[in-house]
Amino acid sequence: MPWLQLIIHTDRRHADAIDDALLEVGAVSVTLQDDADQPILEPALGETPLWDATRITGLFDADIDTAAVSLELLAQLPEPPTDLKWEQLEDKDWEREWMASFKPICCGERLWICPSWQAPPQADAVNLMLDPGLAFGTGTHPTTFLCLQWLDQQALEQKHLVDFGCGSGILGIAALLLGARQVIGVDIDPQALLATRDNATRNGLPTDAMPVYLPADAPTPQADIVLANILAGPLVELAEVLSAQVVAGGKLCLSGILATQAETVMAAYPAFAFDPVAQKEEWVRLTATKVR
């Protein structure tokens, strides 16, 4: 099905009004993007921040009257934008486009993350076959890659783990394929729990190898390793909960943290001796051993 998109360059002050007006005049979706290379890497809890320079794109059916829509849109806005640009959007199978961009990823000496629709490049490696669905975690993001790289280096045989913020299940499933005995997955998103179950089954794991829970329903096990690839703010808020789940001498692996936030996160875990910080781009991974 062909589409038209209306592109508007604006600023933070006018973005919400334009967003609402586009929906009022018939846009089937509205996308807001950074228009000046100003990344927002970790918004505060409950915040939906916008960029100083914002590009807004409204998506419309191709058979609309663009002139009429433009006039109606401008009439709704107290400060109408001066730059409206209509473009035809190429009709694509967007699911296939995404699938084509997801390639196998080598995460160490043993471990590969492979799209479930492609054959693994090394049949004798530890190959995690992944379809993330709507959940976070493919191995392409620096935080996930750093955690997978660390897991590849660990002796996981018969270990019990917790994967807090399990997303697609990628970290917990990797640990199981690398020899762990059981992983408990926890996530606030029910879609993540579905994705984790599906990916565990896809990798031939028994149903009891990685039980998954919403936080309110999760047990509080004593684990050899606790993994949490979320964000710095929640890692600080959850420090007491996560620390209590690690056995004496057990390990902690934290990510989703910007390099500038590392000291703050480490300070929230006084019972742990931290290893040197591992960094990829602006993101870091923190690993530590429980010493008291």
Known binding-site residue numbers for S-adenosyl-L-methionine = 144, 165, 187, 229
Q: Are 183 and 161 in contact (CB under 8 A)?
A: yes
d(CA 252, CA 235): 12
Q: Could you tell me the sign of the dihedral formed by the alpha carbons of 62, 67, 68, 74, in that order?
A: positive
Binding site: residue ranges? 144, 165, 187, 229
Specify the pairing of strand 278-280 against strand 223-229: unpaired
Three-state DSSP state, 52: coil
Rounded Cα distance between 72 and 15, Å, is: 17
Cα 158 from Cα 235, distance rounded (Å): 26
Q: Give the C-alpha distances (Å, rounded to integers) separating 146 from 51, 52, 128, 149, 165.
A: 28, 31, 16, 5, 15
The first and second tokens of residue 191, run together, are 């879609």
Spatial neighbors of 282 by CB under 8 A, at least 6 apart, are 41, 142, 258, 259
